[in-house]
Amino acid sequence: MTDKAIAIEVGRRIKALRLRKNRTQWQVAKAAVVSLNVVKALETGKGKLSSLIAVLREFEALDNLEQFIQEPEVSPLQLAKQQGKKRLRASGDRGKQKT
């Protein structure tokens, strides 16, 4: 999917969630402390991330973001191997020859 298609799909899902909860756009806007135009923009896939968070918080659906951005699961064996390679500082430009 393109970025635009994903944004439209997220907007469609926000609208579906609002309708399942039987709320008007105005009610959601008021409860989320955003303007009516912000809710309309979100539903058409043109909203800002901060507005999306406010609306999801109002729907008590903010926990659903965990499904989008999950912490990577690392096996105990991989974790043990990485412990020896943990970086403590950046090397910057050290080691590069200046011309």
**pLDDT tens digits, 11-57:** 999 999 889 999 999 999 999 999 999 999 999 999 888 898 899 88
**pLDDT at 67 (0 to 100):** 73
d(CA 50, CA 43): 14
Amino acid (one-letter) located at 85: K
Residue 96 token pair: 């590069």
| Mean pLDDT of all residues belonging to the chain | 81
**pLDDT at 47 (0 to 100):** 87
Q: Please tell me which residue, 79 or 46, carries the higher pLDDT value.
A: 46
Residue 4 contacts by C-beta under 8 Å, 6 or more apart in sequence?
A: 45
Task: Count CB neighbours of 39 within 10 A.
Answer: 27
pTM: 0.63
pLDDT tens, 82-92? 666 655 666 66
3-67, which class in CATH? mainly alpha
Q: Is the model's pLDDT at 60 over the cut of 70?
A: yes
